Amino acid sequence: MEIGLHTVHLYNSVFRFDHQMIVTPHLYRARGYQHPALHLRELSPHGIFAAHADQFEQIWQTTTAYAKETR
């Protein structure tokens, strides 16, 4: 697992696992538990998964690796 920190202002959370992802759009004035979770699977090189994957990759290129503290 890799964790990257970024400064891009997003309106959704994206958790990617190879050819699947969970996308949680943030809805205006909703609490965390009220946001829907969309389970997307890569079925073709086009479509909603590809659009989110492309955005994910563009933002991932701007991240700084999260360094775990060692004690």
Whether the Cβ atoms of residue 6 and residue 59 lie closer than 8 Å to each other = yes
Percentage above 70 pLDDT, the chain: 96
pTM of the complete model: 0.66
Q: For residue 42, what pLDDT band results from cuts at 50, 70 and 90?
A: very high
Q: For residue 41, what pLDDT band results from cuts at 50, 70 and 90?
A: very high
Beta-carbon contacts of 46 under 8 Å, excluding residues fewer than 6 positions away, are none
Q: Phi first, then psi: give them for residue 60, nearest 5 degrees.
A: -60, -35
Structural domain spans, the chain: 4-63
Q: Are strands 64-65 and 38-41 parallel, antiparallel or unpaired?
A: unpaired
| Alpha-carbon span 23 to 42, nearest angstrom | 13
For residue 52, pLDDT beyond 70: yes
